[in-house]
Chains A and B, each alone.
Chain A
Amino acid sequence: MKKNIIFGSFLLLSIIIAFRLLYLVIDPANKDTASNNVMKYEVVYPARGLIFDRNGEIIVSNLISYDISVTPREMNAFDTTEFCQIFKISREVLTERLNDINKRRRQIGFRSVSLIKQASAEEHALFKEKQYKFTGFSSIPRTIRSYPRNLGGNLLGYISEVDSAFLRRNPEYRQGDYTGITGIEQSYEPFLKGRKGNSVFLRNVHNQIVSSYNNGANDLKAIPGKDLVSTIDANLQEFAERLMVNKVGSIIAIEPQTGEILCMVSSPGIHVNQLANINKHFVSLATDPFKPMFNRAVMSSYPPGSVFKVVNGLIALQEGVITPETRFGCSLGYHAGGLTVGCHTHSSPTDLVQSIQMSCNAYYCNTFRAILDSRKYNRAGDALSAWGNHVRSFGLGQKLGSDFPSEQTGTIPTTSYYDRIYRSRWGSLTVISLSIGQGEIGATPLQLANLAAIIANRGYYITPHIIREIKDTIVDRSAYTQRHYTSIDPIHFEPVVEGMYLAVNGGGGSTARWSRLSKIELCGKTGTAENPHGNKRDHSVFICFAPRENPKIAIAVYVENAGFGATWAAPIASLVTEKYLTGTNSRTDLLNWILNGNLQNNVLRP
């Protein structure tokens, strides 16, 4: 019957509709699209955590700035001249940005896009006053960094808007977020950044906010980032940076008992004004021949020079190849076969203490050969491996594991390395330059400061770190309280300390006697590191700690191409020590000489 056929087809077509409805209902994408359509999330950016110095002084704070956005669909013709005047930009820049937005108009749709970034509060006030003239424009408050004092440009690091490569690696970030790029800002990013909040609104198809979603129940409050207490002493840091003006190198001071970094200077460094607006200065910083962005304190691996002798002396004592009483003669150097390692004029022969006091090269050539040719080992290679293990126990040749990013390892040569380049035909004489901290050996200034701290502690170190406390946060900080003992028996350190004491405070022949302090027992070791690159002047190196008993500060100073360790590095370290322990500088002449010294050009000389 035709009626049934007709009603049957009605039924069939209705069932097709029902199946289609079913298909739409079970597709979850539709639900997502619907909520994306209607919900507008307005991000509320949290204030980033502040950074205090060890005495509670703020060294990094926040400043409110404003991002100015525009919704192209709502934009009317406006007075571009006035707009440019408010934000102090050129008409060309504005035209270019507007053209760019215009090109992406379809893609942008009803959304708003950022037009001016980090407008100041004054600019924003002017803009607000005249906002009625600029329909479609809006402003979002952001915090940017501000620095009360010019210090620590390299150690604080900077923040910058995330780029697409960063977003790919860190999906939890969104376009427009800031992240710490270097220094403390980078390594403590998870604590500093806080949590973004958002307000959820319902909007209509014209992107007009209709109402708050669910009466704000789903809004998320922004949580400010955690404040950090740094181990840095702001006054000391500032003073140390002043000393390094017009010099290339770094100063690191550590509190030996705690491993806290008191100051960390890389010179030349970044001025904090550049740091606050890094994007503007990025090109000039990146192309500067002195590489101010390069943090020499942790990233530059230098030959340690004579300061390394103390390590060799300690290893020899531990290996039992010398005693503190062992004496070696020196006739203006060490002579073996056709090889000569020169030395300067000093009394001869010397014992261990005197060898450190006067920095005798011959003594350490003999000592080092005694270690490598020791009967305990079958061949020099095995002895070198044992030597390497001792050296590495000082934190050399490896990352110390500080909380500072981009730390480098330095280099300590291995047996297999020499086997490879000398095809296993080498002996103690082949690698003799290691005895005086030259050759295939490299250490960062941070590692040298840590070495000074080890001697100050008579045999152990605590991993150097730059943050003492994350406020209102409990985190496992055991890595920064644990003592790391070297493989050297603590009893062997006393003669070395004595030698270092005499190097500053001894009579004739003491290498650093010009750097002695009248009221403080400063112990130090100079180094004059031959420059492996070309025939520029030697690097000036000094490690020290003070006072001798119960030391409060351990320092490493490295000045590139400055000459003798005693001339530049030692006085600088001495001034830093005095400043830290007494708060003043008694030696105005010495201070002025250092402040006025310009060694920068030695670095660039071909």
Chain B
Amino acid sequence: MKTRHFFKKLDWIIICVFLALVLIGWFNIFASIYDDTEGGTLLDIFDTSQRYGMQFLWIVGAMIVAIACLLVDSKVYSVFAWLIYLASILSLVAVLIFGITINGSKSWFDIAGIRLQPAEFAKVACSLALARIMSFHDFKLRTFSGLVTVVGIMLLPAVLVLLEPETGLALVFAAFFLVLYREGLSGWVIVFGIFTVMLFILSIIWEKTDILILVTAACALAYGLFSRKWGYLLGFAALFALSWWLLPDYLLKNMRIGNDYLFLLLLLPFVLIGCFYAFRSRIHSLWAVILCACVSILIVFSVDYFINSVLQPYQKMRIHILLGMEQDLQGAGYNVHQSKVAIGSGGWAGKGFLKGTQTRYNFVPEQTTDFIFCTIGEEWGFLGSSVLIILFLILFYRILLIAERQKDSFVRIYGYCVASCIFFHFFVNISMTIGLMPVIGIPLPFISYGGSSLWAFTILLFVLLKLDASRQ
């Protein structure tokens, strides 16, 4: 009786979507590498010497894992959350020591021929840990210590993954900020984050001085709005503009500094005047504006350093290609170009199953893993891609629905972790195949080839289903 009750409470819509996605993935992996020139049959899909056959085994494994997740007592997840997190961190450290290196990143364990990637499973552990700490009755997110703890939990695995290095998988941990937003973090943090990214991108494309002028103008406007001293502001602005137009020639000849630094130098007295007035008038918003200006300027000047020193040359190249600053169809831009061609050539209804030439003849690299979406786009067209996107949207909607209907905040927070995590993968992966984002090597959940990714997402999802089904 109790079992029937449990089965009834399981969210079968999610399970159906999950099965659909996994099957879509399997068939498309088959389609992207199946070679029928030597007279194969469709039954070759079970041939385990090929990736599609292997994926079948991974799927069978995933089913077992899913059932196991459902069978485990739901309390285990919250009680052992810390233990699981600790184990995950230890595995991430261990892989740096004992792991094997594939494609330049030391992120794989090789256990009896089966390769597993602990970074994929770290998402589950991190989600459980976040849910656990944030669901404590005396936990307050909007305190300094609370925020630092939460960000620390996210940052620790991220840094370890970055050391492997697997930049893409490390970035995924940023997705949890969405959970923090749901749990009370100000929306401004997200807005600030987006603003930072935009400023960052503009700083790469534009001249530094131009972007400085833009930032200064925006801040001056904000200052004016808060202080309402338009007259003074206009006067100072005119003075500043005048000095900017008149001085440089003289100064540039005698001082060996760039235009951008000269701009800062000229700006300094005006900022001091701004500070003085803010102090006198006691309008707190003015301090915020000044702070914003300073941080923005800092970001603008740090971009160069970041691009040239922190990023790998190939990553810098990818960003430049994405922004259209460089074109290299034979070299670094090749993947994305061929991927776009594959998807575009699919047309409305696609070329048909096993008829995709771009993917089957290897014009698109990594066509079973990171670029699996190309096969879907090429063989099933806009229609097929839309179906896939709609399936994912149904999945997100159900997860959020489940999360919101929980009385237990642990399950709610965990649910949001699951949604953010899968969405991040979904959005970034598809965006990179269609040239909306730089190429960040992360898989498409449930679809891409690979045991670790499939199992990790299966666990992530089925733990949520178990928690939901066991709700009071």
Contacts and interface: CB of A to CB of B under 8 A. Distances in A.
B363 A24 contact: no
B361 A21 contact: no
B389 A18 contact: yes
A582 interface: no
B347 A31 contact: yes
- Of B357, B397, B423, most buried by chain A (CB within 10 Å of CB) is B357
Interface in B1-57: 37
Interface in A9-59: 10-11, 13-14, 16-18, 20-22, 24-25, 27, 29-31, 33-35, 37-38
Interface stretch (A203-211, A353-361, A494-502, A587-595): A203-211
A423 interface: no
B427 A17 contact: yes
A205 B361 contact: yes
A17 B181 contact: no
Interface in B321-348: 330, 338, 340-348
B404 A3 contact: yes
B169 to A, nearest CB: 20
Given A38-B358, A205-B362, A20 B393 contact: no
A206 B361 CA distance: 9
Nearest to B344: A30
Nearest to B351: A34
B377 interface: yes
Contacts of B181: 2, 6
B434 A109 contact: no
A278 interface: no
Interface of A is mostly: helix
Contacts of A88: none
A113 interface: no
A140 interface: no
B192 to A, nearest CB: 16
A39 to B, nearest CB: 8
A106 interface: yes
A205 B330 CA distance: 12
Contacts of B403: 3
A5 B191 CA distance: 13
Contact of B385 (A10, A21, A31, A35): A21
Contacts of A14: 389, 392-393, 427
- Of A7, A29, A34, most buried by chain B (CB within 10 Å of CB) is A34
Interface string B423-457: 10001001100111000000000000000000000
B361 A210 contact: yes
Nearest to B436: A20
Interface in B403-432: 403-404, 416, 419, 423, 427, 430-431
Interface in B378-404: 378, 381-382, 385-386, 389, 392-393, 396-397, 400, 403-404
B434 A202 contact: no
B341 A10 contact: no
A12 to B, nearest CB: 11
A25 B358 contact: no
Interface in A67-123: 106, 109
Contacts of B347: 25, 31
Q: Which size class do B's interface residues fall under?
A: 35 or more
Contacts, number: 105
A37 B389 CA distance: 28
B362 A34 contact: no
Given A3-B182, A18-B386, A202 B361 contact: yes
B182 A37 contact: no
Contact of A3 (B348, B385, B400, B427): B400
A204 B362 CA distance: 6
A13 B427 contact: yes
Nearest to B377: A21
Given A24-B340, A204-B361, A17 B423 contact: no
B178 interface: yes
A25 B363 contact: no
A326 B343 CA distance: 93
Given A205-B361, A210-B37, A37 B341 contact: yes
Contact of B436 (A6, A7, A16): A16
Contacts of B361: 37-38, 202-205, 210
Contacts of A30: 340-341, 343-345
Contacts of B187: 5
Contacts of B385: 18, 21
A203 B362 CA distance: 10
B382 A21 contact: yes
A21 B434 contact: yes
Given A25-B382, A202-B357, A6 B178 contact: yes
Nearest to B37: A211
A37 B357 contact: yes
A21 B182 contact: no
A33 B341 contact: yes
A6 B420 CA distance: 9
A27 B396 CA distance: 31
A210 B34 CA distance: 12
Given A22-B382, A33-B341, A38 B348 contact: no
B339 to A, nearest CB: 10
Contacts of A205: 361-363
B357 A34 contact: yes
Nearest to B435: A20
A10 B423 contact: yes
B357 A38 contact: yes
Nearest to B382: A25
Contacts of A18: 385-386, 389
B182 A24 contact: no
Nearest to B330: A106
Interface string A466-494: 00000000000000000000000000000
B424 to A, nearest CB: 10
Contacts of A37: 338, 341, 357-358, 361, 363
A447 to B, nearest CB: 59
Contacts of B382: 21-22, 25
A307 B182 CA distance: 110
Contacts of B378: 34
Contact of B345 (A13, A33, A106): A33
B434 A20 contact: yes
A10 B345 contact: no
B357 A6 contact: no
B37 A31 contact: no
Nearest to B331: A106
Contacts of A21: 343, 377, 382, 385-386, 434
Contacts of B346: 25
Contacts of B434: 17, 20-21, 24
A11 B362 CA distance: 32
Contact of A24 (B178, B343, B419): B343
Nearest to B347: A25
Nearest to A7: B400
Interface string A383-397: 000000000000000
Interface in A216-257: none
7 interchain residue pairs of minimum CB distance:
A30-B344, A34-B345, A24-B344, A38-B357, A204-B361, A205-B362, A33-B341
19 contacts: A3-B404, A5-B187, A7-B396, A14-B427, A17-B427, A17-B431, A17-B436, A21-B386, A25-B344, A31-B345, A31-B347, A34-B342, A34-B357, A34-B378, A37-B341, A203-B361, A204-B362, A210-B361, A211-B37
Interface of A: 2-3, 5-7, 10-11, 13-14, 16-18, 20-22, 24-25, 27, 29-31, 33-35, 37-38, 106, 109, 202-206, 210-211
Interface of B: 37, 178, 181-182, 187, 330, 338, 340-348, 357-358, 361-363, 377-378, 381-382, 385-386, 389, 392-393, 396-397, 400, 403-404, 416, 419, 423, 427, 430-431, 434-436
Given A24-B377, A25-B381, A210-B37, 12 more contacts: A3-B182, A3-B403, A3-B404, A6-B416, A17-B427, A25-B347, A25-B382, A30-B341, A33-B345, A37-B357, A202-B361, A205-B363
